[in-house]
Structure 1
Amino acid sequence: MSKPSGPRRSQVEKAARRAQGTPIHAQLRDGDGRVLAGATLEDGEWTMVLAGRPVASTPSAAMLLAMLRHTAAVQGRAGVRTRLSVSKVLDAAACAEAQAAGRTLAAHLDWLEAERRTRNDPAPALH
């Protein structure tokens, strides 16, 4: 009896995708054009990459954009000028998420940043 070809075909397809490289959907560059951060999409997961290493994954395109915007803000506070370029795929996915939440993309990204601040700020001291 022969083995099913489905799993073998799946492995071949994954290997072919790896050989082609994962498409980059966003790049955050400094003033000299060096890439500081980026974003990829694979199997429905958006991955943020810093210094060539994956640091976070999310199914949310808008969340990924919010993380990149936060990284740009941190760099800006350190005096580093940045420029963010985003693919049409990432932009469309983030816009669709924002629209589903009843917001514009800009308002949705601001909402995500406010949520991050609330989550990361220390709780007030009780006296």
Structure 2
Amino acid sequence: MSDAATLDALFAAARTARARAYAPYSGFTVGAALVTPDGAIHAGCNVENAAYPVGVCAEAGAISAMIANGGRRIAAILVVAGGEGLCTPCGACRQRIREFAGPDTPVYVAGPEGLRRSFTLEELLPASFGPDVLDAARSGA
């Protein structure tokens, strides 16, 4: 899933979603797009709220769109934001991604100019807790 056409499509979808973000308080807009194993792309943007803790991250929006459209597995995800630094998924979103992705899943971080860096989910969330841990516990392993 790391071919150039897929990355271009993820970047375009994330950039479009970012342009639609609702960030009147921070002004920090974020877009995310993910691709499922069947090639379907789902995007989301951050949505702020006057009661700050109830805002929604772009990654959570993209995952919700995937679920709403019947997807259950993330093959790769790309996050795009402005600024000079890397905008990697927050801790909560790393766990959200983990629910639907394995340790080797690519996580791409981009700025308006394009790709800045790529990670695996394992690099961002080492020794993670995921559904496989619960499955093993239920099976007595």
Q: Same-fold call, TM > 0.5? A: no
Q: Which has the larger radius of gyration?
A: 1
For the aligned pair, the TM-score class normalised by the smaller chain equals: 0.3 to 0.5
Q: TM-score, normalised by structure 2?
A: 0.32
Q: What TM-score does the superposition give when structure 1 sets the normalisation length?
A: 0.34
More helix by share: 1
